[in-house]
Each structure stands twice: as C-alpha cells, then as structure tokens.
Amino acid sequence: MVHRIAFWSCFGLAVRFWQVGIEMRPFFNKSSLWAYPLYAAGGASFGYWLQGVDDRQSAMLSERKAYLLEKRKRKAEREAEEAGDAAAAAMQ
C-alpha cells in the first residue's frame, strides 16, 4: 500500500516539475514552493484511492473464485454420483 501512495506522490511532484519546466520558471521559486506539497498530496490521495479500488477488486475476485470452485466441486460430485448410479443400473 505504501509503495503505491509513494509512487503517486512522486508522480504528483514530477507533474509539478514538468509544469514549471514548460513555463520555463525556476523550480524552487520562494513564492511558489507551496504548490509542491499540494501536488504530492493530490498524487498521494489518488494512490490511496487506487489502493482501495485494488483491494475491493481483489476481494471480489477471490469470492468469485471460491464460488466457482465450489460450484465445480458440486458438479463433479453430482457427475460421479450419476456415473455410479448408471454403473449400478447396468449391472442389474
């Protein structure tokens, strides 16, 4: 979780550096230093949100996988039971 938030924080800082570079302004102008933490916080909040999305999707996928495996197990048991009944009927 921390690595995703840290990555997006750094991405927010990179966006700010890119913006200032495009404008050809000095990177560390005293009057605009307040924007760097703002961009980092924006990136971090996006990373935190993205981590939540990933956690919810992983939980949903694991539930779905467990459901499908249980369904497959029930089907195999049912087919084995039907095969046993067919074999018993053939022997009579």
Kindly write down the DSSP assignment for every residue of 18-45, as one continuous string: HHHHHTT--TT-GGGTTHHHHHHHHHHH
Mean pLDDT of the chain: 92
pLDDT tens column, 20-72: 999 999 988 899 899 999 999 999 999 999 999 999 999 999 999 999 999 99
* Backbone torsions φ then ψ of 24, nearest 5 degrees: 55, 45
pLDDT tens column, 7-16: 999 999 999 9
User: What residues make up the domain containing 33?
Assistant: 2-91
pLDDT score for 92: 67
Overall number of domains in the chain: 1
Q: Taking 80 as the threshold, does the pLDDT of residue 90 lie above it?
A: no
Return the closest-CA partner of residue 50 out of 91, 11, 92, 90: 11
